[in-house]
Amino acid sequence: MKRFVAALLALLVIFSVSRTAIRAGSGATDPPAWATPKAMAIKRVSAIASAQNEPTFLSNLDCSLVDYRLVASSTMQTGCFSPTAFGLIDSDSDTVIYNGTDEGLPLLPFLSNQVLAPWPEAGNLISLNPALVNGSYISLYKNPVGDLQEQRNLLGQLVSKQLTAAPELRLTDPAGQPLVINPQTLAFSDGGSWLVAEDLNGSFVRINLASLDVLPFAPSYLGNNGYNLLKSQVAVSHDGHYVAINNEATGEFKVYDLTSCSGTIANLAPLNCRSYDYRSFAASQIGGLKSVRHVRFINGGLLSFEATSSDPSHDGIYELAPTASITSLIDYLGLGDSYTSGEGAFDYLSGTDTVENVCHLSAHSYPLLLTRDLFNSQAGHSVACSGAVINDIGSTSDNYRGQVKDVPSFQQLEQSNVALLNSVQTNFVPGYIAQQHFVRQYQPGVTTVSVGGNDIGFGDIVQTCVEPHLSLHPAGNSCFNSYEDHQELERLIDRTVPRWAALYKQLKAEAPGTQFYVIGYPQIAVDNGNCALNVHLNHDELVFTSEIIDYLNGGIAQAATKAGVPYIDISQALDGHRLCETSSYNVAVNGLTAGGDGGAFGINVLGRESYHPNALGHELIEQAILRQTHNLQIKDPGSAGPPDPAKLNQAPPTGRAINTRLPEPKLTSGVTKAGKTTAIKISGSKNGLKPKTAYKVRLDGPAGTVIGTVNSDDSGDVDGTVTVPPGTSGGHTVDVTGDNQADEPADVTQPIYIPVSDDDYDGDGLPNNNDSCPYAVNSGIDSDQDGIDDSCDPMISQPPASGSTGGGNGGTGGQADGPPAVTPGSNGSSADNSTSNEAPMATWATDSGGLAIDEPSVTVAASFNLPDTTNTTRALGSATANPFRLPVKGIKPTAAKSHPPLLPPFDHLPVINWPPWLLLPVLAWFLILLIQLIRQRLNKVCTKNKGFQLQ
């Protein structure tokens, strides 16, 4: 009993120590000692100037060069634009490019001498009006979009918009007097929560833009010999705790700690706030230092700036920190959407395949393969998440809510759930916060980023092709078969290019020392082969899909060139293993997968894994990346021109108007019932809709049947309902049509599925509970005998050895063993080059199918029997680190694994890091053994000297 008690006590000691260590590892670190540095470090990270620019007048703001044309004009211009919630603004020319368009529209101020400053990530604007002597009064527009009036010429063409009212709020000092600031010192924090400027009444002030509280913290340079000394470079950290000010005239480069301020705010006299001047240290480290500009906080403990020197070889971007050294905290980080997270490769990491979190980060995704082959599990990570768009990668807004269901905003996490935020960041859990936060925090040595498919609604595009064909009466026409359809998609990609470029520039600025690579998308099918029953795309649709992927990759490559980042072309990575190109069990891409991850009424037509690369596919993508980058060593960005529209422009015209296509995955629930009302919700700022405007709701395209009308509010947001006509069923699109802010005809669109009945969604006579493909008419064939009809089997593997007949996936040479081969567009007739021992063909349409990139769904949850969570050593290919190994063929999904959640619900903490706990029994055993040895030794000593023993 005593031994048991001793062992229990030892276990409790270890438990206490381990718990403390775990808390320390996932908890907040000590704040940076900017004002009282015990050590300092400067590191040159680039010889090239920053990709970010600055406006001429508001020189403390960031902007990106964008090519655009003015509305109602064909002349191209270039401006330097800064992002807001409703679009891009060039503060030098007062031009706005609203979201959903690529046209520039002059934004006329309320008063002729008024300057409008873009507020990052917000739907507000800062107004600057000249003061009587020097400087500007600063005011705030709460909803400028609602205060705009259209200006038209004699022909009725929209030529500009003008503010019709003064700003609602004028910012004042603690005594209630208007603030008068130097506009050239205006600086925002990244999230848009804090503003810093030099007040001309004696101090620099920090303004909380939520409460409008003003904190004077540093003396102004006005009293040091004139107005020229007012030109300072200013930066404020994301949390508002630190402000950096560089003034060339005085030779000062100070960082202030605003958490240290003491004193009473009675006027604008600066409080007592600790600071440290880093200019002499910078001069000692940068030979011939002449000037410092473009000062920016990367994170709370790291600054970047551009330095010029009398010796040009010392020019470039530098990082500064109050620490002994500046190093990358990790070697590699993967960013992106489902094609990066590994959706479709299954074996998802714990916590990324739950009701709340469907990021579907797979142990077989190519970032984790790169980690295994070039780095290690501690030095490389991925935070890619299925469904990610530009905003999910790069948002710096404090109001950003992640992709996880019901997750609090970033600001709420910072203020009331720091433990969860720290756990997310420490454990690299995707979906909770924007992916750029991991770039800022860890400053990886190498980062790959792949995003774009969801920005153009690629999953919706092909789902629109698929759903009409999954019924008893397949559509006779191919999807997107007109010149107008193709023009709309081409223009959608073209106008997204500047946003991709701005994202890449932003990421480079957030980690100047990181080597970035932009990864494109692979071609997933061929249009001249034989397709298995799970492919569901006819010949024209396969051609169209290939053309869209090519044009998308061209746009991404062009954006990478504009940002000076290498683009890695993986379009041919899956060659030899694409759909319709080889046997089903040898393909690198899943076919149609039945959906069942929820959705309205529990219905999702296409599983999330549909038409995504499988584990073999990610092996091939990894190898393509390694080959093209020489194991992530190439740094030359290369160059790419605009994508070639030649192929997309070959479709025949119909004569209808060309609309601005706006894919909106949250337009409806995605599923509704005939004769029932369905909600219509649109963000006006995101899609560029006009305020207080009526929009028509249609079925099946911008020229389809009108089923209702919805109205936007004074911010342009839509929240209404329409009724789906009785007797409607199958796949359709909902299209909300009307003019956008640039007076262009807009089409906000989303695919929608309408079940035939509650008991038999697809109307094929099989009740849902007995139907392995409840949303697609069954073929009656299960060639691999896995219990899933071939029409929605993600991978049709080799049939059992005994008594097996039937063609394979239809490679051009034909194959023995596998499901019957079908030529694209053949409606069930076997291909001429398929083998003669095929099973009888079903009499249903096989020329249809679908692609669901990053849209919610999955019924057949499958998994590979491979290591769990972050263990990326897989039973695939060779176990060696050779990056160019041959892949193993014939991989087949098995039964789904059930992973314990990586993170608990938001209110259940603390989060436990399990690996240290697994060591507890071993440590306890060693401690018990040590106690026993000590007892034996003491007993010998006691028996020899005193004649007694320990009990």
* pLDDT single digits (tens) 311-347: 999 999 999 999 999 999 999 999 999 999 999 999 9
* pLDDT single digits (tens) 215-245: 999 999 876 545 556 679 999 999 999 999 9
Output the pLDDT for position 27: 34
Task: Choose among 609, 506, 613: nearest CA to 563.
Answer: 506
pLDDT band with cut points at 50, 70 and 90 for residue 8 = very low
**Taking 50 as the threshold, does the pLDDT of residue 787 lie above it?**
yes
Q: Do residues 771 and 787 lie in contact, with contact meaning Cβ atoms separated by under 8 Å?
A: no
Contacts of 793 (CB under 8 A, 6+ apart): 533, 534, 591, 593, 782, 784, 786, 860
Backbone φ and ψ of 349, nearest 5°: -65, 150
Q: Do residues 813 and 833 lie in contact, with contact meaning Cβ atoms separated by under 8 Å?
A: yes
As a whole number of angstroms, the distance between CA 370 and CA 331 comes to 11
pLDDT band with cut points at 50, 70 and 90 for residue 12 = very low
* pLDDT single digits (tens) 20-76: 232 223 334 689 999 999 999 999 998 887 777 888 889 899 888 898 989 877 788
Range scoring the smallest mean pLDDT among 340-344, 482-486, 515-519, 854-858: 854-858
3-state secondary structure of 178: strand
Residue of 844 and 135 predicted with greater confidence: 135
Number of C-beta neighbours around residue 418 at 10 A: 13
Output the pLDDT for position 329: 93
Task: Choose among 346, 347, 421, 332: nearest CA to 383.
Answer: 332
Over range 194-206, report the average pLDDT: 92
Output the pLDDT for position 229: 61
Output the pLDDT for position 901: 41
**Which contacts (CB < 8 Å, 24+ apart) does range 291-296 have?**
291/248, 292/233, 292/246, 292/248, 292/253, 293/233, 293/246, 294/50, 294/52, 294/54, 294/233, 295/233, 295/234, 295/235, 295/244, 295/246, 295/253, 296/62, 296/235, 296/509
As a whole number of angstroms, the distance between CA 112 and CA 125 comes to 16
Single-letter amino acid, residue 309: S
**Taking 70 as the threshold, does the pLDDT of residue 850 lie above it?**
no
For 140, the enclosing helix (H) or strand (E) is strand 136-141
Output the pLDDT for position 869: 32
Percent of the chain with pLDDT over 70: 79
* pLDDT single digits (tens) 259-313: 999 998 877 889 999 999 999 999 999 999 999 999 999 999 999 999 999 999 9
Output the pLDDT for position 603: 66
Over range 876-885, report the average pLDDT: 30
Q: Going by DSSP bridges, is the β-strand pair 515-519/567-568 parallel, antiparallel, or unpaired?
A: parallel
User: DSSP label at 905?
Assistant: -
Q: Do residues 577 and 654 lie in contact, with contact meaning Cβ atoms separated by under 8 Å?
A: no
Q: What are the C-alpha distances in Å from 371 to residues 334, 343, 627?
A: 9, 18, 15
- The residue whose two tokens read 């050593």 is 873
Residue of 876 and 950 predicted with greater confidence: 950
Contacts of 348 (CB under 8 A, 6+ apart): 342, 360, 361, 362, 363, 863, 899
Q: Do residues 418 and 426 lie in contact, with contact meaning Cβ atoms separated by under 8 Å?
A: no
Q: Cα dihedral angle (370, 371, 375, 378), rounded to 10 degrees?
A: 170
Contacts of 39 (CB under 8 A, 6+ apart): 322, 323, 324
As a whole number of angstroms, the distance between CA 197 and CA 769 comes to 65
Task: Choose among 388, 797, 855, 883: nearest CA to 619.
Answer: 883
Single-letter amino acid, residue 553: N
Task: Choose among 868, 703, 884, 904: nearest CA to 348.
Answer: 868
Contacts of 30 (CB under 8 A, 6+ apart): none
Encoding tokens for residue 336?
Answer: 């992106």
